[in-house]
Amino acid sequence: MAKIIHLIRHGHHALLGRTLCGRMRGVELDDLGCEEIARCAETFTPRPTMIQSSPQRRCMQSACILAARFGLPVEIVPALDELDYGEWTGLSFEALARDPRWSRWNEQRGTNRPPGGESMRSLQKRVVAHLEQVRSDRGTGTVVAVSHAEPIRAALLYYSRKELDDFLSIEIDPGSVSTLSVDNRGIRITGINQRVLA
């Protein structure tokens, strides 16, 4: 049974805050992002026994920085992938602000979805199903799961028993650590959006 699950958001990249990257190809960490993840590695006690990652390059880079620090392999886990934003993938936030569907989706995450994309409820189901599987796996101690803001937020909303429409109540910064503790009764949140500042 896993005792601790650390949910790590990938480090900073050049398009952050400007473009809705989603599952865009070729989005890579910048120097700041690499530094954030290296600092993040200093926070783990006890030492991780497993490192998992979303298939997206920025997450795999982040996971590899951690893996090199702890001498562990990286397991690619599709359930940790970013939300599929469909037609919105790759658009600037400036362009999205002019789309009434974007406003509607951000007001009602629990009942809307990006055009041609994935709903937050579907995202939440796949992420939580994976975390519950990790919880039940025997022999795992401290698991590091590198993902994105929305999957991490969806999991934290679930375990804090909040509605998906409350997504803005949980901030998930680049290079942050949110921690879940596991016991026979289930999973509880013991830390949200923790960062090691330079």
2 falls in which pLDDT band (50, 70, 90)? low
Q: How do beta strands 50-53 and 74-76 pair?
A: parallel
Q: What is the mean pLDDT of the chain?
A: 94
Rounded average pLDDT over 18-36: 96
Lowest mean pLDDT among 44-53, 61-70, 126-135, 173-182: 44-53
Q: Which two tokens stand for residue 73?
A: 């392999």
* Distances from the Cα of 42 to the Cα of 37, 56, 115, 173, angstroms: 9, 23, 40, 17
Structure-block tokens of residue 105: 């989706």
E-strand ranges in the chain read: 4-9, 50-53, 74-76, 142-147, 177-183, 186-194
Task: Output b/e per residue, 11-47; b: 16+ Cβ within 10 A.
Answer: bbbebbeebbbbbbeebbbeebbbbbbbebbeebeee
Q: Contacts from 133-139 at CB under 8 Å and sequence distance 24+?
A: 134/2, 134/5, 135/1, 135/2, 135/5, 135/182, 135/186, 135/187, 136/1, 137/1, 137/2, 138/1
Q: Which domains does the chain have, with CATH numbers?
A: 4-194 (3.40.50.1240)
Q: What is the pLDDT of residue 161?
A: 95
- State the Cα–Cα distance between residues 181 and 135, nearest whole angstrom: 9
Is residue 111's pLDDT more than 80?
yes
Q: Residue range 6-19: average pLDDT?
A: 96
